[in-house]
Amino acid sequence: MNTRYKEFDVMRSFEEWDERTQKLIEQRIASGEKIMFFSDKQKELLIDVLKVLLAEENEDIIKRVAAFIGEQLEKNKGKGYREATLPEAEILYLEGLKGIQEASAAMYSGKDFGELSHEQKIKVLEAIRQGNPGGRAWQKINGKKFFKDFLTQAVSGFYSQPEIWSQIGYAGPAYPRGYVRVELGGKDPWEAKMNE
C-alpha cells in the first residue's frame, strides 16, 4: 500500500498505551499463527481470497485478517444480528467459500480459485458481488449478501492491524495520553505527519 506517512510507525507509541491495550495489540500481531474454525484447505482459500480482495501482499497481515474472521466464527462473536434471509454466520462462510470454488470451476473450466490468474480471481469475486456466480452453493446463500458480509469482516480485520494504522496515519489509541491539540489542523507530537 502506498502511504503518505512513510516515516510514521504507530508502534513507537506502544509503551505509552495502557497494559490492556498493549496485550490486545500483541495478541492481534501473534494471531496469524493460529487461524480457527476453518479446515486447512479452507484457510488456504480464505487467505487467497483476502489477498485479492484487500490488495495486500504482506502475508502476515492477511493471515491475521483470516484469523480475525475465524475467531469471529469460532467464538460466535459478531454484530449480534443477522438478516432473516441469511443462514447462521458459520454456514454462510462455509457455503460462501465452497461457492467461490464452484464459481471458479464454472467460469474457468473446472479450475480451483487458487489456480486462476489475478484477473480471473477478480472476475470470480465480481460475479459473486453482482449476485450471478455459478455453483450450487449460491442456491443456498445469496452471493451479494455473502460478499457484503465477507467484505465488511475483511475490512474490519484489515484496519485493526497496526501496520495499516501506520500506513493511513492513524496514531492508535489516544488513551491514556489523550489529545491536547484539538483545534482545527492542530496535531499532537505523536501523530502522523504527511511526507512532502
What grid cell was written down for 64?
A: 491475521
Closest listed residue to residue 31, CA positions, set 73, 69, 64: 64
- Residue 86 has a pLDDT of 80
Provide DSSP, 103-142.
Answer: HHHHHTTT--GGGS-HHHHHHHHHHHHHT---STHHHHS-
pLDDT attached to residue 84 = 75
Give the model's pLDDT for residue 4.
80
Rounded to whole angstroms, the Cα distance separating 148 from 83 reads 12
How would you write the pLDDT of the chain (196 residues) with one tens digit per residue? Answer: 567 888 889 999 899 888 999 999 999 999 888 899 999 999 999 999 999 999 998 999 999 999 999 999 998 776 666 677 788 899 999 999 999 999 999 999 999 999 999 999 999 999 999 998 989 999 999 999 999 999 999 999 999 999 999 999 888 887 676 666 666 766 766 667 766 5
- pTM, 2 dp: 0.86
